[in-house]
Amino acid sequence: MDRVLVTGGAGFIGSNFIRHLLNETNYKVINLDKLTYAGNLRNIKDLRGNKRHRFVKGDITNRKLAGPLVGKVDAVVNFAGLIVLEPLAIIAFAPFSS
C-alpha cells in the first residue's frame, strides 16, 4: 500500500493527518476537499510543492470526480463532514450569564 485518498484534508483533523502521513511515512496522498466554510487552503499551505501530496477541489458526493480517485488509491480515509454544535450545548457552557 502506498497511496491514500484523504477526504476533507483541508480541514482541521484531515490536514494534520496528511501532514503526519507525509512526515512519518512514505505514502502518497490525494487530498479531496470541497473547501466549505470549514476547509481552508491555509491549513495545507506548507504542503504546497510536496510531490507526494496532490490537492483536488471537489465534493465527495460527486461520483464522476471521486470514483476515479478511489480507483487510484489503496485506502480512503474520510474526514469530510460537518461539525454541528448544538445550541443547547453552547448555552449549557456559557459562563456567568445573567
Question: Which residues are at the interface with ligand NAD (CB under 6 A)?
Answer: 7-8, 10-14, 32-36, 38-39, 59-61, 79-81, 83
Nearest CA-CA partner of 7 in 32, 30, 29, 28: 32
Contact by Cβ (8 Å): 44, 18:
yes
50 is written with which cell numbers?
510536496
Least distance in angstroms from the C-beta of 33 to ligand NAD: 4
Cβ distance to ligand NAD smaller for residue 54 or 59: 59
Q: What radius of gyration do the chain's Cα atoms show? A: 16
Question: From CA 14, how far away is CA 66, in angstroms rounded?
Answer: 17
Cβ distance to ligand NAD smaller for residue 2 or 13: 13
Least distance in angstroms from the C-beta of 9 to ligand NAD: 7
Cβ distance to ligand NAD smaller for residue 18 or 27: 18
Question: From CA 32, how far away is CA 9, in angstroms rounded?
Answer: 6
Least distance in angstroms from the C-beta of 97 to ligand NAD: 24
Cβ distance to ligand NAD smaller for residue 82 or 98: 82
